[in-house]
Chains A and B, each alone.
Chain A
Amino acid sequence: MTAIYKREVKSYMTSMIGYLFIFFMLVLTGIYFTAYQLLAAYPKFEYTLSSMTFAFLIGVPLLTMRVLAEERRQKTDQLLLTSPVSVGEIVLGKYLALVTVYGVAIAITCTYPLIMSKFGEVSFKTAYTAVLGFFLLGCANLAIGVFLSSITESQVIAAVLTFVFLFAFYMMSGISSFFSKTSVSTCIAFGLLIFALSMIFYTMVKNIIISAAVCIVGEVALIIIYVINSSFFEGGIQKFLEIFNISGHFDSFTNGILDVTGIVYFLSVIAVCLFLTIQSISKRRWN
């Protein structure tokens, strides 16, 4: 793992891409920092960070698009996968290298509250809580990028997919307001979701009986819950979509709250995405 980690970090630092990412993040932070803190003399650094969550939409695809896709295209994955290193170690090494590059940008950002403290009173606790939240948010986005890079061998497709997904997650609170909150519509939406999931299940196992059984059991359970307690479903679509509202979980950090659920949420996103990455690489070997 350390071998892969070292190689990746070195590769980011000898090519343009690592510097470009750090440059991009610092320019945006600098602009907002100048506008809010230096010119408007606003003492809360959290505010700057909360305005900057959109930066990941461009920065993350830039950094993660090549991480696994390029490996596959150049066939260098043959070296990694035939060495005595597990797939988990490969993915973790690569992910940690990405986090390191991102960490460099964050470390520089950490000096900003110190600069502000020269000119007035700054709450370091709330400022660094927000920095921590911002760091975790970025790490979660990077994990999503790593996973999407593992499913294709084209860097462009990986970048576009990452942008589309991150954008959809970024807009999630707006998107969820499109849907009706009544329990009937929620129940129908979930019914369709169960059907879609069993269709996906069918394409994977190619067994019509099992997938039909899964579908029917799911739908019946749904109807039973609806009959017993229909109010259970009220606003269900919104609750469901809230799971994907990644930047929404950052909000409490910007209010100076060290949000444990938020930390757990970000760590879970990272774990799930890295697990899916390992699975997608392992699955390819069986095709």
Chain B
Amino acid sequence: MIEVTNLVKRYGDHTAVDHLSFKIEKGKIYGFLGPNGAGKSTTMNIITGYIASTEGKVVIDGHDILEEPEQAKKCIGYLPEQPPLYFDMTVLEYMKFAADLKKIPKSKKMSMIQEVMDMVKISDMKNRLIKNLSKGYRQRVGLAQAVLGYPEVIILDEPTVGLDPKQIIEIRSLIKDLKEKHTVILSSHILSEVSAVCDYVLIISHGKLVASDTPENLGRLAEGSNNLSMLIKGEKNVIREGLDKVEGIKDISLEESSEENTWRVKISTEENMDIREKIFYSMAYVQCPILEMQSKKVSLEEIFLELTEGDGNSAEKDEEKAPGQENQDVTDSAEVHDVNETASEISEEDSGDFQEEDRDMVNAENTENGEKGE
């Protein structure tokens, strides 16, 4: 349906979209997910032909957006971030204008406008001036404009921004209804929205596609790595040997804690299984008391954050690693040590959730490096 290959958009030195490629298939709802400034709107503006790309190609239903813009644009209904409304028109006038722009035949025009207005529930407002409408109604008029003419693809840029919770639910169910006849692409920086509405999620960060999958698969990915954080008293070797006997552990990391002869142990399990009891008995067997145990599920949100925010860092790291392979372990361990220090400093001051998360990430890095060292 839509094929995007190697899309690049540069504004001077700034690269807003960086070699983005993906395919959109018929009859599904796609979600563009990414933090603010990730390049979602730019990508949508390029797909709809509002701005041109620096490099790359967009083909819609076999029509290249630059070579055959009119045929390509006919397949698309677009609701930009700010609904493109003329404030001096009434809703009905605006809908008629949009119908004429889309070259809808006169015979179908009025019935189609009525249908679409009923669909988004703006029929009562049809004689009101758009400038007198509330934000929610303006959004609906914009949506009606995008749906008008029943184009094959409907592209919605942050359709629920600025709406009240009731309106959000209504708009979402409306989008779900659109799925029957149309392919829908919507963008959002709200994860719950995307996972509630979309069949397929494309996560974009710094203009790059960092992940694309169904929300279920992304969720499974999240469930796959459960974490346990424990505080265990005893000898380091004894604890490690004891833990090695427990099945289903993927990663173990041990680090000294502030208390004497106690260790902060981080475990990530392989599958969605509960091994807390096993660990308890195993530790009891080697006589190392567990002082604290916390089970933590990695949510979809954390994956999203890690993918979008961590992405820049990991890329930099890779570049750093590439030239000097020999010094790698030294520099890395030093780096991690520094981070650990700051992390523990922070947690001493304030042991909020956020810091804990930070530390978790650091620990994950730590184990990664440890494995490589071996």
Contact = CB atoms under 8 A, between A and B. Distances in A.
Given A84-B74, A85-B101, A78 B88 contact: no
Contacts of B78: 78, 82
A78 B74 CA distance: 15
B183 interface: no
A119 interface: no
Contacts of B76: 82
Given A11-B86, A285-B52, A79 B101 contact: yes
Interface residues of B, number: 30
Looking at A11, A76, A78, A287, the one whose CB has the most chain B CB atoms below 10 A away is A78
B51 A83 contact: no
B101 A83 contact: yes
Contact of B103 (A4, A6, A75, A84): A84
A85 B102 CA distance: 8
Contact of A285 (B50, B87, B103): B50
A70 to B, nearest CB: 10
B168 to A, nearest CB: 22
B142 to A, nearest CB: 9
B210 interface: no
A129 to B, nearest CB: 38
A3 B52 contact: no
Interface in B17-64: 45, 48-52
A76 B80 CA distance: 10
Interface string A1-16: 0111011001100110
A86 B71 CA distance: 11
Nearest to A10: B93
A85 B85 CA distance: 17
B98 interface: yes
A177 to B, nearest CB: 44
B85 A76 contact: yes
Looking at A82, A285, A286, A287, the one whose CB has the most chain B CB atoms below 10 A away is A82
B84 interface: yes
Contact of A79 (B69, B74, B103, B145): B145
Contacts of B48: 82
Contacts of B88: 11, 14-15
A207 to B, nearest CB: 18
A82 B73 contact: yes
A220 interface: no
Given A15-B88, A82-B73, A285 B51 contact: yes
B127 interface: no
B100 interface: yes
B51 A3 contact: no
Contact of B70 (A80, A84, A287): A84
Nearest to B98: A79
Interface string A249-287: 000000000000000000000000000000000000111
A11 B86 CA distance: 10
A10 B70 CA distance: 26
A7 B89 CA distance: 9
A75 B73 contact: no
Contacts of A75: 80, 82, 84
Interface string A72-106: 00111111111111100000000000000000000
A182 B48 CA distance: 56
B371 to A, nearest CB: 48
B97 interface: yes
A51 to B, nearest CB: 35
Nearest to B157: A78
Contacts of B93: 10
A100 B97 CA distance: 19
A74 B94 CA distance: 15
A10 B346 CA distance: 64
A86 B66 CA distance: 12
Given A11-B86, A78-B80, A2 B49 contact: no
B78 to A, nearest CB: 5
A74 B48 CA distance: 18
B111 to A, nearest CB: 18
Contact of A4 (B11, B49, B101): B101
Contacts of A80: 101
Given A2-B100, A6-B100, A11-B86, A78 B50 contact: yes
Contacts of B69: 84, 86
Nearest to A4: B101
Given A6-B100, A7-B86, A81 B49 contact: yes
A79 B148 CA distance: 13
A205 to B, nearest CB: 17
Nearest to B12: A287
A86 B70 contact: yes
B74 to A, nearest CB: 5
A208 B123 CA distance: 60
A25 to B, nearest CB: 23
A6 B97 CA distance: 9
Interface in A11-53: 11, 14-15
A286 B66 CA distance: 11
B73 A84 contact: yes
A32 to B, nearest CB: 33
A78 B84 contact: yes
A82 B80 CA distance: 10
A14 B88 CA distance: 8
A3 B50 CA distance: 19
Interface of B: 11, 45, 48-52, 69-71, 73-74, 76, 78, 80, 82, 84-89, 93, 97-98, 100-103, 145
7 contacts: A2-B100, A3-B97, A7-B89, A75-B80, A76-B86, A81-B49, A84-B101
Given A84-B69, A84-B103, 18 more contacts: A3-B100, A3-B101, A6-B100, A74-B86, A74-B87, A75-B80, A75-B84, A76-B84, A76-B85, A78-B80, A78-B82, A79-B101, A79-B145, A80-B101, A82-B49, A83-B98, A84-B70, A84-B101
